[in-house]
Amino acid sequence: MIRRNIRNWQRISLASVILCAVWQLSGAGLLRADEPFARSKDYDLQHSKIALRFQPEQKQVLGEVTHSVALLRDGLETISFDSVGLQIESVRINKGAAKFATTDSKLVVTLPNGAKAGAKFDVEIKYQGTPSKGLYFILPDKDYPNRPLEVWTQGESEDTRYYLPTYDYPNDRLTTETILTVPASWLTISNGKLVGVTDASNGMKTWTWRESQPSSTYLFTVVAGEFVEVKDTWRNIPVTYYAPKDRGDRLSPSYSRTPAMIELFSKKLGVDYPWEKYSQAMVDEFVAGGMENSSATTNTAESLRNPKLVPEYEKNEDDLISHELGHQWFGDLVTTKDWGNIWLNEGFATFMETVWAESHFGKDVADYDRWEGAHQWFAMRSLFDKPIVRYNFEESEEFDGNAYGKGGWVLYMLRRQLGEDAFYAGLKHYLEANRGKNVMTSDLTKAIEEATHTNVDAFFRQWIYGAGAPKFEVSYTYDEAKKQVALTVKQTQKREGRVGLFQVPVDVEITTATGPKLYPIHVTQESEVFTFPSDSAPLMVLFDKGTQILKSAQFKKEKKELLYQLKNAGEVADRADAAEALAKLKGDDEVVAALGDALRNDKSTGVRRTAASSLGELGGAAASRQLLEALNSAKEPWVRGSIVVALENFKDDAGVVARLQTVAREDASYRARGASLRAIGRIKGAEAYETLVAAVNADSPDGFLRDAALNGLGSLGDDKAVPLLRDWAASGKDMDSRQAAIGSLARLQKDNKELTQVIAGYLQDSHFPIRRTAIYALGGRGDASAIPALEAMLQSKNLSIEMQPTIKEQIERLKNPLAKGDPHGMTKPEGNADDKAGGDERLTHVEQLVQEMNERLKEIEKRLPPPPK
């Protein structure tokens, strides 16, 4: 996440030349030489007692921290702590005054003479600061006088140092005592157990939290402010949920499945939830989607969905909740040693989402997610030639679709290849052997081999250290005389760099009138022919039944076979493959009827949604009839939403246009209504403007329909909407509506440079989501006159490094309008999270997939700290 080769120490501004020389010898010069690999260490930070007070109006923190350190080397004259922008008032060692100096990035403390390895010191630091990141203040202001006051931190990757002088790299672990003195009306949350709350002077209270199990400093957290709490338990361990004080009623509808998740993960992993409590604090304007601080997750308050909308989402926020919970084992109990191995945190957390989805929502739901995930990963083409573990990343690139999506997929394949029992035995051993330690990928392979006696080196070499995935071309012939199927399998991925030939186990299933037969094969060559007995010409041949391998496959099949597969294949992925392939067979009534049947009757809502999308691609009167008919019966809001999106393709069909108007006005599903409003904008039919403006002015839960209509006005492209959009973009309006309005404004009057400057003005907004929206809006607008404003933002000293790729990407879009796609495979939120908001009618299918995935990732975990204030 960070550019490792930044040499901050070259910008030393020490008062003392002598100290400077010492510093270069024993401090940064030594440490920085290791990165991007884990730092070498001079000392072990064992415990920190951290006392903080806040001055919210000044956005200031007043701190007193006592670090208990043990030296790891002889001959050290100084030790240094990471510290950026903090004013250090005093430093004491073992209660005696100590010499210190500061640089741009370090606090360097002089040790007593002759200190030896093993010597222990208490280093007490008094400081204050107004952090540019790491610690955030959300305050009421004149435009939002009633918003709850919040103070919260976000450490990962290396931002703790902006509010706390400390050892700020993952490869050390410490216990903590956190002492927070805050107004009596506030709640506080930090790592570990709440030891007590005592009265302090001036109407303040002091909260003491103690974490007795060591973890890394990026996992340290403080949340404080005007929150409300809901208490729950799991096996006598406190499980708590916190919301800003005006949204306490939203906690239980979204979060009450947490204890069931803790139970499931504890049982599956064979290692009980390891911390003394589990809290989830939902905060406004969070710079990530969720953050797995040890025992105390912080999530975006966007996950506190309006209870009226909760039933409209198949899994509600369970992906986010299970992801962050999964990290409590993978990431917190066992922590990556360096950022190059970040998949050991993120791939596992992504995999744990699947574990929960399978258990709670069923295999079909989890399988469809995985099928979609494979498509999405392939759509991020820039990831293909990069291995999961690598060190040549820039900025926050390592938090990419390889660490998350592909990492999760790889663990799924490993489970399948080892078998459920062996896989979990391996994970249990990995967790137990490395409990409380920092790890590399080799620690995982070693643990699996020790527990299962199965060597997984080849598997890891291929999937983790190698890049890419197999791209297959498959075909078959049937020999009536020999009663034999000959299956030709070719690997077509370009073999260069770290992308090689793949060796994968594949299940082939051949179905004839006498039933299905399964044949496991091992594909190892560039081109191979496999033969199988078959009593008659097959009704269906499946290559990689159920999509168990991360791959793409071009398998040319006759219409007849695809129709059979759509109706009869047992696995969701195979039916979804068929539904997708049938979208290429235009002008065929039988195909349309079969897809209509799948849309109405398949038992998987995922397959139904794919069938809807294929009918939309096929077009024609017969397809629109099927979609409209399905709209009469489909109950699930997420299916209705997909049907509406598919109907966008029929803009010349008066019946469709009229129906979208009806759905927008009165459908039982808010998601279908929202999708209709966006569709009406894209279709640009009669009365579109009036319908959208009416929806902007109408009520719905959390302005859900208003935001969809504001979005639709951008697609509609009618400049009449500019004043209305400028109104809704203005400070004081609902934050989601502002984002929708800014996104749409950027799509109107594209030659109007004054409007470009209005949007560029939002780069300076005091609210992070608005700044983030403005960056994307300007990139999409295509007016190069916005480049200086974006470049100025990029030059700012306070800019979170994680934000840099995003801004650079948008500048690149403006400089080179034809460039497409997602060069970093990064999370890239755009507009609202729901239903392709902020979409563009020119999006191709692939781009839509990428966008949907980005939105999904946004929900899960976006790591985009804010631009400068």
Give residues in contact with Zn ion (CB under 5 A): 346, 349, 861
Quick one: DSSP state of residue 816?
-
Are 344 and 336 in contact by the 8 Å Cβ rule? The answer is yes
Our CB check for Zn ion shows the closer of 255 and 532 to be 255
Quick one: DSSP state of residue 161?
G
Our CB check for Zn ion shows the closer of 312 and 346 to be 346
Least Å distance between CB 418 and Zn ion? 24
| Residue 723: C-alpha distances to residues 163, 177, 226, 704, 742 (Å) | 42, 53, 36, 21, 12
Our CB check for Zn ion shows the closer of 349 and 355 to be 349
Are 803 and 790 in contact by the 8 Å Cβ rule? The answer is no
- In sequence order, the β-bridge partners of residue 53 are 62, 181
Our CB check for Zn ion shows the closer of 409 and 670 to be 409
Structure tokens at 225: 């402010």
Q: Which residues contact 376 (CB under 8 A, 6 or more apart)?
A: 401, 405, 849, 850, 852, 853
Helices (H), 270-406: 318-327, 343-361, 363-379
| Residue 322: C-alpha distances to residues 5, 255, 265 (Å) | 34, 10, 9
Are 208 and 51 in contact by the 8 Å Cβ rule? The answer is no
Least Å distance between CB 450 and Zn ion? 27
Our CB check for Zn ion shows the closer of 288 and 775 to be 288
> CA-CA distance, 822 to 260, in Å (whole number)?
37
Our CB check for Zn ion shows the closer of 349 and 735 to be 349
Our CB check for Zn ion shows the closer of 331 and 839 to be 331
Our CB check for Zn ion shows the closer of 349 and 440 to be 349
Least Å distance between CB 346 and Zn ion? 5
> CA-CA distance, 689 to 550, in Å (whole number)?
44
Our CB check for Zn ion shows the closer of 346 and 648 to be 346
Least Å distance between CB 327 and Zn ion? 6
Least Å distance between CB 280 and Zn ion? 14
Quick one: DSSP state of residue 823?
T
Are 380 and 491 in contact by the 8 Å Cβ rule? The answer is no
Strand, coil or helix: 766: coil
| C-alpha angle 73-211-325 in degrees, rounded to nearest 5 | 110
Our CB check for Zn ion shows the closer of 284 and 861 to be 861
Least Å distance between CB 30 and Zn ion? 31
Nearest CA-CA partner of 426 in 264, 262, 270:
270
Least Å distance between CB 380 and Zn ion? 17
Least Å distance between CB 399 and Zn ion? 8
Our CB check for Zn ion shows the closer of 351 and 460 to be 351
Least Å distance between CB 405 and Zn ion? 12
Our CB check for Zn ion shows the closer of 284 and 346 to be 346
Are 219 and 294 in contact by the 8 Å Cβ rule? The answer is yes
Contacts of residues 11-15 at CB distance under 8 Å and 24 or more positions apart, as own/partner, are: 11/103, 11/104, 12/103, 12/104, 13/103, 13/104, 14/101, 14/102, 14/103, 15/101
| Residue 596: C-alpha distances to residues 222, 616, 667, 859 (Å) | 52, 11, 21, 31
Q: Which residue has the tokens 């060597």?
A: 455
Least Å distance between CB 852 and Zn ion? 19
Our separate counts of H helices and E strands in the chain read 28, 29
